[in-house]
Structures are given as structure tokens and as C-alpha cells.
A and B are shown apart, each in its own frame.
Chain A
Amino acid sequence: MRAYVVSRLAQTALVVFLSLTAVFVMVRLSGDPVLLFMPMDIQAKDVNEFRQRLGFNDPLPVQYARFVGGAVRGDFGESLRYRRDAMGLVLERLPATLLLAGTSLLLTFAVAVPLGVVSAVHRDGLLDHLGTILTVLGQATPGFWLGLLMIYLFSVQLRWLPTGGMGGVAHLVMPSIVLAAFYSARVARLTRSAVLEVLSEDYILTARAKGLGEGRVIGKHTLRNSAIPIVTLAGLEAGQVLGGAVITETIFAWPGLGRLTVQALLNRDFPVVLAAVFFISLMYTLINLVVDLAYGWLDPRVRLT
């Protein structure tokens, strides 16, 4: 078990390192970051000074070595725009994203798992059809459009909720619903098919034959056995939620990591981009590790090697 965790952590480090290298190479291939960042009418002397100051005049291997050396210590240099430590900026924005992503994941599972279970239990019934329509629509509706519609309805027309920003609970309502909507649809569909698969197993027939109440058959025998595919998807989705947060945070002016990344990309503020990439890939791979560890707990037949 410990060997497994250690080797997975080593893999995580490798993945994070490779994605950073890829971004570093792409950034350098795309042109001079200083020129791209500077205004058009800048003097050549100033460009050179800026370049010297940020170390862009050194040979590429030296720059790469310095970049790797810094990255290992969590130092990605200074933001070109804010003239501040890039990692500090990212860390500052992280809690907002974690709050938003956490709330949406909770919301997703609070809504989607019961929806999927109800759909499966009432297979081909009215509730199942309603659930299917809801999930199919949810999957097809782009989050940023849903966000605009909600802003129009709840902020412009009804004036119930703020259009954006971060503050009280009211600010959290729309962003977390928008972020949860798409994933809820996927999780609900998967829950439905996972539960249906388990319901056709012999041990469910046995449980019913021995006279167990339907509540126990579903709650105990079915749910635990259908948990594996749901947890797998949850892990994959938890990472995608980070991607969805980029869009949701932009619509609702939520001061999180996603919005910072978009702004850094638009401003070509590459130290911040690299710091954000580092954090996102680290979080994503760690989430997957936690999911894999959860298998062993959910299904003792799974051996982690």
C-alpha cells in the first residue's frame, strides 16, 4: 500500500513536470514574451532592460534550468503585469476556487446521485423520463449560456442575486449552480446506468427473495455496489470542474484561479500561466490518486499495486 502511494506520487511529480516543460517550450516557441507583453511603442532600450532584468537574455538551456530550479521550490518568477511573485498570486486566488468547486461538487452529488437512483428504480416510469429529459438538456446546455440566462432572470429582472463578484452566500448561488449543472447531468446518467447494472445481479434477487424491504435493497445492497463507477467519474469530473471553473469564474467575476488564468493568458503574463498550470495539474493528479485509493475502501476486491 505504501509502495503504491509512493510510486503514484512519483508519477504525479513526473506528470506535473512534463506539463510544465510542455508549456515552457510552447511559450518560448511562440515568440519573445517581453515583446508580446510590452506595448507597441516601447523603446528598444527599455525592452532590453526588461529582458535583462527577467533573465530572458540568457541562453535557452540556462533559462530552462533556472525555471526548473525555481519550479521545484514553487518559485515561478515575477508576474509581468503585477510585478509580484506569481505563485503568491495563484495561492491568493486558490481559496475562492476551492470554495466554488467544493460547493458545486457537493451540489452535484446531492442532486445527481438521488436523481440517478430514482431514475433507475423507476425505470421507464414517468420519473425516469423526466430525469432523462433533465439530464439530456443539462448536458447540452453550455455553462456560460446558462450563466447569462440566470443573470438575466435573477439579477436583471428579479433583482434577487448579485451579477458577480465574491461576498456573501448570495454571490455563491449562481456560480455554483452553473458549475454544477453540467456535471450533475453526467453524474446522474452514470448513476442511473450503474444502479441498473447492479439491480440485474443475482444478489439483488436474493436480497429481495429473502424478504428485505426495498429501502434496504436499494440503500444497502445496490448503492454500495454501484459506487465504483460513480466514484471514478467523480474523480474525473473533479478535474473537469477545474476547467469549468475557468468559464464560470469569468462570467460571474469570481476572483479565483480560473479567472486569473484567463487574464494571465490574455495579458501574456506567462509566469502566472506557468504557476497556474502547475497548480491545476497538481490538483488534478492528486484528486485522481485519492479516487484510486477510495476504490480499495469501496471494493476490497480491488488490489492496488
Chain B
Amino acid sequence: MKKWLGISLTLAVLLAALGAPWLAPHDPLRTDFPQSLRPPGAAGHPLGTDQLGRDLLARVLHGARLALFIGGCTVVLTAVVGGLLGLVAGFVERWPSTVLMRIVDVQLSFPFILLAMTINAIVGLGLRNIILSLSAAGWVVYARVVRGEVLSVKQRDYVQAAAALGVGRTRLLFRHVLPNVAPSIIVVASLQFSSFIVAEAAISFLGFGVQPPTPAWGSMLSESRDFLYVAWWLAAFPGAALALTALGVNLLGDWLRDTLDPKLRV
């Protein structure tokens, strides 16, 4: 039940994101002042229009594209960087690893969203910088989980046996250790995916991150605050899209964890 709900919601969002240019009835950036603040169901605008007369459905669909793009890039970036660092830190127990794990500890001693927001405010706004800021704040989770896994995997008999047979260190790490920690990386990635999407929306909501007029759910919600008394739909639909996306991806992540790595705690 959970599994199918998760898969179908995630697929629906994926389809909306990929098909946005064809599914959207209008250009998400085209303004049309005579048609501004139309309620849902108005002619040609199934979800209504915003304060500039832009079509809300088009903006929500394109918002899905943006959210999945940012979430996807961030997950890949953090998984590769954090995963590799964790892999090496677990395998080579020398002082650089200790330093690395201290950095991880320091970073984990700060609320994630606040860290990402602070980095974003300092390095600058926009699409590329929000991905970099979320990644800079998020990689530590992989590093910690993967290092822990590697420490236990490398003690196992088959790794010891391979080492005894004279398998080189690089090959040992990537052919014997990595495949055995891969499930944890996948599980962490799936659980992080929705938190990245929600964090991006929150940061854009606060005025950092993706800037208007780009149709990002977070900045759309932020703009909707000024029209809450007259246009509830501007707050309702982008938020619902965000919540349904988070719900679908969370359920998918839970299912993946239960299947691949039930003991993992993130």
C-alpha cells in the first residue's frame, strides 16, 4: 500500500516535471493583467491565475521540473562527494580521515536548513548556487553513514581474504567494499531527496535561493502571502504539489530502506 502510493505519486510528479512544457496550458512566465487573480476553474486556467495573470497550473508544473532538478542534482552531488569521502575515510584510518570526521561533526552541530541558507546568502542566490549550498550542507550525512559501514565491511572475511590474495587497495575498495555499502548510499539518497526539495522550497520561501519570476514552489508560496485574503489558491496549489512530492518520495524512501537496509538510521 505504502509502496504503491509512493511509487505512483513519485511517478506522477516525475511525469509532470518531464512533460511540463507540453502539459502546461500556457507559458509560466507570460503575464496577462486583465486576467489577474482569477479563481480556479476560470476559462483556460484550471487552477486560476496569480497577481500578474500568469497561469497557476503552468507555474506549478514547471515548479515540479525545477524542484526535481534541484533535488536530483543535489542528491547526486552529495552522494558522490560524501560517499567517496566516507569510503576513503573508513578505509584509510589516518589523520586526514580524523580531520574529515571532525569537520562532519562540526557541520552536524548546526541545523541543516540554517546552514544551507547561510551558505546560500553568502555565496549568492540563483539556481546553481542553491544546488551548491544544499550540497555543501548535505554531504556530511553520507560521509558519516558510509564511513561507519566501511569500517564494518572491511573486517569481513571476504574482504580480508581478497586482501590476503594480494588484491590492490583501489580494486579492493571499489570492487569489494563499495558494492556492499552501495545499498546504504541508495537508502540515504532516497531519504535525503525529499528533504532537499523541501529545504530548497523553504530557502526560496525566505527570499534566498531561486528568485522570482522563475516558477519555484517556495518563492510562489512566499509571494502568495500578500494575496492570502483574496486568492487562497496561490497558497494552496504550490504547497499541495510540494507536500505530495515530499509524501511520495518519503514513502518510496521508507520502502527502499525496509527492503535494502532495515537497520539504517538517518
Contacts and interface: CB of A to CB of B under 8 A. Distances in A.
Main secondary structure of the interface of A (DSSP, over half): helix
B117 interface: yes
Given A140-B247, A265-B121, A149 B110 contact: no
Interface in B233-259: 235-236, 239-240, 242-244, 246-247, 250-251
A146 to B, nearest CB: 8
Interface in B82-127: 105-106, 109-114, 117-119, 121-124
A140 B206 contact: no
A135 B240 CA distance: 17
A111 B201 CA distance: 27
Nearest to A153: B232
Contact of B239 (A15, A142, A151, A262): A142
A284 B110 CA distance: 7
A288 B109 contact: yes
A242 interface: yes
A284 B109 contact: yes
A18 B106 contact: yes
A156 B228 contact: yes
Contacts of B128: none
Given A142-B202, A148-B221, A266-B121, A281 B243 contact: no
A293 B214 CA distance: 48
A149 B123 CA distance: 32
Contacts of B118: 23, 265, 273, 277
Interface centre among A19, A140, A246 (most CB of B within 10 A): A140
Interface string A275-303: 00100110011001000000000000000
Contact of A246 (B114, B124, B247): B114
A141 B194 CA distance: 11
Contact of A19 (B106, B194, B198, B225): B106
B242 A145 contact: yes
Contact of B235 (A15, A22, A149, A247): A149
B110 A142 contact: no
A125 interface: no
B22 interface: no
A136 to B, nearest CB: 7
Contacts, number: 115
Interface string B167-206: 0000000000000000000000000001000100110011
B139 interface: no
Nearest to A284: B109
Contacts of A273: 118, 121
A139 B235 contact: no
A27 interface: yes
A30 interface: yes
A240 interface: yes
A256 interface: no
A268 B118 CA distance: 10
Interface residues of A, number: 43
A222 interface: no
Contact of B206 (A152, A247, A284, A285): A247
Contacts of B242: 142, 145
B109 A145 contact: no
A137 interface: yes
Main secondary structure of the interface of B (DSSP, over half): helix
A32 B61 CA distance: 39
A248 to B, nearest CB: 10
Nearest to B229: A156
A26 interface: yes
B247 A137 contact: yes
A152 B232 contact: yes
Nearest to B246: A140
B79 to A, nearest CB: 22
B138 to A, nearest CB: 13
Contacts of B207: 262, 266
B224 interface: yes
Contact of B194 (A18, A140, A149, A285): A140
B113 A142 contact: no
B142 interface: no
Given A149-B235, A149-B239, A246-B206, A142 B123 contact: no
Nearest to B224: A148
A261 interface: yes
Nearest to A243: B111
Contacts of B2: 136
B235 A26 contact: no
A131 interface: no
Contacts of B239: 142, 145, 148-149
Nearest to A270: B122
B112 A240 contact: yes
Contacts of B113: 243-244, 246-247
Nearest to A233: B265
Report, nearest first, the 5 A-B pairs whose CB atoms are least far apart: A243-B111, A145-B239, A140-B247, A265-B121, A140-B246
26 contacts: A18-B106, A26-B119, A30-B122, A30-B123, A136-B2, A140-B194, A140-B243, A140-B244, A142-B202, A142-B239, A148-B239, A151-B228, A152-B228, A156-B228, A156-B229, A240-B112, A243-B111, A243-B112, A243-B113, A244-B113, A246-B111, A261-B114, A266-B207, A268-B121, A280-B110, A281-B110
